[in-house]
Chain A
Amino acid sequence: MFILTRLTDLITIQPTSFTLPTRQAIEDQINTRYANKVIHKVGLAICLYDILKSSDGLIGSGTGSVNINVEFRLIVFRPFKGEVLTGRISNSTPNGISVRLDFFDEIFIPKDYLFEGSVFDHNEQVWVWRTEDGDELFFDKNECVRFRVEEEEFVDNTPVDPALRDSLADADMTPPYKLIGSCYQSGLGVVAWW
């Protein structure tokens, strides 16, 4: 579920941070830049793991900021294909089920990836799995489900003009990283069932 990614980046430290120990100033800068952000084709960066190398600081002309080349490792959320995860059901629609982990929301289980014999109950707005024995098992909201990661999708969003950003609805923004899951094997589905 989590991996370590090695990166290099040019870190700029503002004069206001000069009172801090260098190490801490670098750590803060890296975390500000990467924590809780998606790196394209890498995954969702969580936070800094360790700093491997750093160059001498160079002061650029005109600003007074120090520039340092740093090589470091980040903890990144990037489940592999076929990995089994647990999350909570956040929403159900006739198209499938949305699942969220506390720190990551973009997981979707399409209806074709649900157990055979699953139907959507329009009155209750939930998916129901009718087993061969005639039992009815409900995918209730907020239930804890186990699912398998089938696909991942990275979208490279082009930056939006800040002046226009407010007028855009949330629905227009495609998530930069999302996962497609499945639930059609015994042991998967709501955790309490098994």
Chain B
Amino acid sequence: MKVLEPCEALLSNYEVLEHVQDVKRRYREEITEKGRAVAMKPGNLETVMKELIDYLTSTAAASQTSETSSHLVESLTRFNFEKIEVLMILNHLPKNETELDVLIEELESRLAEKEIAEILEAIHTVLETKTNFEVSGP
């Protein structure tokens, strides 16, 4: 084994959830097609996928779709956030200023109150799109 590039890209929680659910779906289709014995998957993969889905569906990732998240990222570009700050906003979808302040360093000196309100509004619209969802953490 050789590590060529330890960190090639960052993934958002939503992207990981999508990918894992995709893998799971593919395996399930195979089971119905060929029978359980042929489509056996490694046990360690099964464990980590189940636990990861349990965790991620209880976070903000479950309330996103690829459209809403790319839309949110676009609306955040004009605030000159660092890449990791955008990523954290995407993963947490903060609901109020205190929650946003934890994610963004020196929030108040960097942005005007009006701009903060705009960000929270943009996040709110993402949450609106999937209604019966509660962001209560894992």
Question: A and B, one complex?
Answer: yes
List A residues at the B interface (Cβ < 8 Å): 1-9, 28, 31-32, 35-37, 39, 41-42, 46-47, 49, 71, 73, 75, 78, 80, 83-84, 86-88, 101-103, 144, 146, 148, 185-188, 191, 194
B132 interface residue, CB < 8 Å from A?
no
Q: Closest approach, in angstroms, between the C-beta of A21 and any C-beta of chain B?
A: 11
Q: Closest approach, in angstroms, between the C-beta of A23 and any C-beta of chain B?
A: 12
- Decide: A4 near B11, CB < 8 A? Known: A47-B45, A86-B137: yes
User: Is A5 a contact partner of B13 (Cβ separation < 8 A)?
Assistant: no
CA distance A163 to B116 in the complex (A): 60
User: Is B138 a contact partner of A5 (Cβ separation < 8 A)?
Assistant: no
User: Is B55 a contact partner of A102 (Cβ separation < 8 A)?
Assistant: yes
In the complex, chain A residues whose CB is within 8 Å of the CB of B91: 1
In the complex, chain B residues whose CB is within 8 Å of the CB of A185: 102
B96 interface residue, CB < 8 Å from A?
yes
Q: Which of B70-121 contact A (CB under 8 A)?
A: 84, 88, 91-92, 96, 98-99, 101-103
Q: Which of B17-67 contact A (CB under 8 A)?
A: 19-20, 23, 41-42, 44-45, 47-49, 51-52, 54-55, 59
User: Is A194 a contact partner of B96 (Cβ separation < 8 A)?
Assistant: yes
In the complex, chain B residues whose CB is within 8 Å of the CB of A28: 41-42
Complex partner residue of B136 from A39, A83, A144, CB under 8 angstroms: A144
In the complex, chain B residues whose CB is within 8 Å of the CB of A6: 3-5, 8
Q: Closest approach, in angstroms, between the C-beta of B134 and any C-beta of chain A?
A: 11
CA distance A189 to B29 in the complex (A): 42
Q: Closest approach, in angstroms, between the C-beta of B96 and any C-beta of chain A?
A: 7
Query: What are 6 A-B contacts defined by CB distance under 8 Å?
Result: A39-B3, A42-B6, A102-B51, A102-B52, A103-B54, A187-B101
Q: Closest approach, in angstroms, between the C-beta of A45 and any C-beta of chain B?
A: 9
User: Is B8 a contact partner of A103 (Cβ separation < 8 A)?
Assistant: no
Question: Which 10 interchain pairs have the tightest Cβ spacing?
Answer: A187-B102, A103-B51, A144-B137, A36-B48, A102-B55, A32-B42, A35-B45, A6-B5, A2-B11, A86-B137
Q: Which of under 10, 10 to 19, 20 to 34, or 35 or more describes the interface residues of B? A: 35 or more
User: Is A3 a contact partner of B138 (Cβ separation < 8 A)?
Assistant: no
- Decide: A84 near B103, CB < 8 A? Known: A8-B2, A101-B138: yes
Complex partner residue of A75 from B1, B11, B103, CB under 8 angstroms: B11
Q: Closest approach, in angstroms, between the C-beta of B56 and any C-beta of chain A?
A: 9
In the complex, chain A residues whose CB is within 8 Å of the CB of B10: 2-4
Q: Closest approach, in angstroms, between the C-beta of B25 and any C-beta of chain A?
A: 14
- 7 new A-B contacts, CB < 8 A, other than A4-B8, A185-B102, are A6-B4, A8-B4, A28-B42, A31-B44, A36-B45, A103-B55, A146-B102
CA distance A73 to B9 in the complex (A): 10
With CB as the reference atom, state the residue of chain A lying closest to B97: A187
User: Is A191 a contact partner of B44 (Cβ separation < 8 A)?
Assistant: no
- Decide: A103 near B48, CB < 8 A? Known: A4-B11, A6-B5: yes
CA distance A191 to B135 in the complex (A): 10
In the complex, chain A residues whose CB is within 8 Å of the CB of B92: 84, 86
